[in-house]
Structure 1
Amino acid sequence: MASEMQERIARAIYEDRNGHGCVMWSRRGRADRAPYLSDALAAMKAMLEPTPAMLEAAEWAAEDGALLDFDRDDFRLTFTAGISHEIAAAEEARRDQD
């Protein structure tokens, strides 16, 4: 089974590519889902590191009072840890299916 984030991304890619009225994602078989899940994993790997703009947005939110104590390195670490967890779960699920 795919990780939760991989499943969300795969479903979004599927719906975007196939448009309104396409067969519901939940009704697609494993073989039909596989290429979308693969694309989702690639997308997750591309997001492994936050972009400079993401760091700026987080810092702006902190300055606006949304965060009491902001540290770019802490944000980068936390962000990367979350994405890394989802990638590891997705890769484990792929190994289990092979």
Structure 2
Amino acid sequence: MSRMRPMTAMFRTASRLILVLMLVFVLDSCIGKRITKANVDQVTEGMSKKQVESILGQPTSSKTEDPTIIRQTTYVYRQGKDTVTIVFKDDKVQSKDSTISD
């Protein structure tokens, strides 16, 4: 009987771990699908970084160049084989480019 208790506890721990991992994968797949053509189409010239982030989320990477006159930031979003690049000048959308197909 004393050997059954550790096995039962180990089984419960393993079951909980599997459940948590499954939950993480499900949530990640739901949250990670923000890079869609419909969402990219919502991003328009003149939008702020905050507005873009509310639609597409945090960028995969960003780079800011701060010359004396005009500040330029580039946001890059990657999801699988799709890439979206948004260029901000003075913190407003200047241009966007996307490899997402219809």
| TM-score between both structures, scaled by the size of structure 1 | 0.30
- The structure whose residues are more often helix, as a share, is 1
Which structure has more RCO (C-alpha within 8 Å, separation ≥ 6)? 1
| TM-score between both structures, scaled by the size of structure 2 | 0.29
- The structure whose residues are more often strand, as a share, is 2
Structure number with bigger Rg: 2
